[in-house]
Amino acid sequence: MRKSILSIALFSVAISTYAQDSLMFRRIHDNIMLHGTCYEDLRVLSKNIGHRLSGSPQAEQAIVWAQKAMEAAGADKVWLQPVDVPHWVRGKEYLKLKFAGSKDYKNVTMLSLGNAVGTDGKVLEAPIIIANNFEEFEKMPAKDVKGKIVFFNYRFRQDLPHTFEGYGDAGTYRWRGPSVASAKGAAGVIIRSVSTGLDDFPHTGAMRYADTVKPIPAIAIGNTSADLLEQELRKGAVQAQIMSECKMLGAVRSFNVIGEITGSVYPDKYIVVGGHLDSWDVGDGAHDDGAGCVQSIEVLRTFKALNIKPRYTIRAVMFMNEENGLKGGLAYNDSALARKEEHILAIESDAGGFSPRGFGLAMEESKRRQIRSYRKLFLPYGVYDFEREEGGADISPMQRRGVPCAGLRPDPQRYFDLHHTANDVFEQINHRELKLGAVALTQLVYITSTYGLK
Ligand SMILES: [Zn+2]
């Protein structure tokens, strides 16, 4: 009898806790959808400042903007954390192709890959050879590669339901292709863009030269240009001219921008929510990753607007240099270690400002189970997928030392049409989808700051 009374009592406590949490989830949603500022914040960042590659004057302006935006959101404390970042510049560049039977060169839209060397403003002229993948390239004799421009014609796999898997798969051609080609004596590299888009936008993005190879120019072309080049190479020889002024300058002092709301019970234990402030130097970086920045600021604003006093300290972190160095993520982690700051959870939003579908959970099983137990609270907001186990790039240094990490997973279908292109602009953002992402982040921060993560 006593046992059943106790279980009824526990059951009612559970119900009322659920009802309270459910009500708070609703209040968070309503406040952001009706009064959220993230869309307007993103307009200012995207339209007034624009793209902001590490080391650029726009990146400096973005730091000042982020500081002010976090102060306006009501953060108890906002500060800059120093980070030394690489400074790569693009300059002028072009690609011209001459097809078999034609006397004239034809201009093709292109972008040099980030961190690549250029041609020093000179024209690199050479025949193109095609390899559909690394296996094909390995079989080519070095004498056929020497002095040529290698075209890696690897297609983004459209048969994978989750485009981030396709990105991981094709992305290796961008990251490693130039080194693989140079190791065999190639003079330059063209890659088919790492892109789901059926269009001609070239996608830039970071690449890295292996220490053992000579750096060679490396560029990307859009899918329709890649289709044309593939077709023309089937008919006969294609000659290319590449001119590019891109180069790496020396390191520059920059900053992560951090804003926090101090915890009421555990002021020295932290929940981080963040995105990266830098972007590529084309488009205006609205999805990648202006969205993650303004959503993280929205978390702070919403806690203040609803007068929620978090038990743990909540930090919104705008990381610098995710795109071509990850120096901000590394600096944040180094500082947290040096100060012995205990982080109970780090959340990243860096997958586009699209409708949220769930969170990747990179943490031990018991903690993953705890967050999955809140699934019912998230369901009314279209957030249901807690199956994947990844966090994000900027929080990966923390993840590697065992800090529980989570990554916001928006709908992934359109991200790799826009990612790292001139078309990643504010006009591609839907205000409801962007805000819903901020809602999901705020709800996850709310629930973990209420119950901790055990
Ligand atoms: Zn990004």
Section 208-235 average pLDDT? 98
Q: Do residues 453 and 269 lie in contact, with contact meaning Cβ atoms separated by under 8 Å?
A: no
CA dihedral 362, 363, 369, 374 (to 10 degrees): -60
| Predicted confidence (pLDDT) at residue 331 exceeds the cutoff of 90 | yes
Q: Do residues 44 and 68 lie in contact, with contact meaning Cβ atoms separated by under 8 Å?
A: no
**How would residue 16 be classed by pLDDT, with cut points 50, 70 and 90?**
confident
CA 10/CA 4 separation, integer angstroms: 10
Ligand 1 centre and the CA of 43: distance in Å?
18
Take residue 230 and report the two structure tokens written for it.
């593939």
Ligand 1 centre and the CA of 37: distance in Å?
21
| Predicted confidence (pLDDT) at residue 272 exceeds the cutoff of 70 | yes
Q: Do residues 441 and 296 lie in contact, with contact meaning Cβ atoms separated by under 8 Å?
A: yes
**H or E element in which residue 107 lies:** strand 106-108
Ligand 1 centre and the CA of 130: distance in Å?
30
Ligand 1 centre and the CA of 356: distance in Å?
16
Average pLDDT, the chain: 97
Ligand 1 centre and the CA of 361: distance in Å?
18
Confidence (pLDDT) at 11:
65
CA 123/CA 241 separation, integer angstroms: 6
CA 146/CA 152 separation, integer angstroms: 15
Confidence (pLDDT) at 420:
98
Structural domains of the chain in order of their starting residue, each with its CATH number: 29-88+250-451 (3.40.630.10), 91-245 (3.50.30.30)
Ligand 1 centre and the CA of 323: distance in Å?
6
pTM higher than the cut 0.75: yes
Q: Do residues 241 and 71 lie in contact, with contact meaning Cβ atoms separated by under 8 Å?
A: no
pLDDT digits (tens, 9 = 90+) for 298-321: 999 999 999 999 999 999 999 999
Ligand 1 centre and the CA of 167: distance in Å?
13
What whole-number percentage of the chain has pLDDT above 90?
96
Take residue 161 and report the two structure tokens written for it.
């339901």
Ligand 1 centre and the CA of 274: distance in Å?
11
Ligand 1 centre and the CA of 398: distance in Å?
17
CA 417/CA 415 separation, integer angstroms: 5
Ligand 1 centre and the CA of 278: distance in Å?
8
CA 136/CA 152 separation, integer angstroms: 10
pLDDT digits (tens, 9 = 90+) for 412-422: 999 999 999 99
Ligand 1 centre and the CA of 139: distance in Å?
35
Ligand 1 centre and the CA of 320: distance in Å?
11
Considering only residues 13 and 105, tell me which one the structure prediction assigns the higher pLDDT.
105
Ligand 1 centre and the CA of 352: distance in Å?
8
Confidence (pLDDT) at 147:
98
Ligand 1 centre and the CA of 379: distance in Å?
26
**H or E element in which residue 108 lies:** strand 106-108
CA dihedral 327, 330, 336, 342 (to 10 degrees): 140
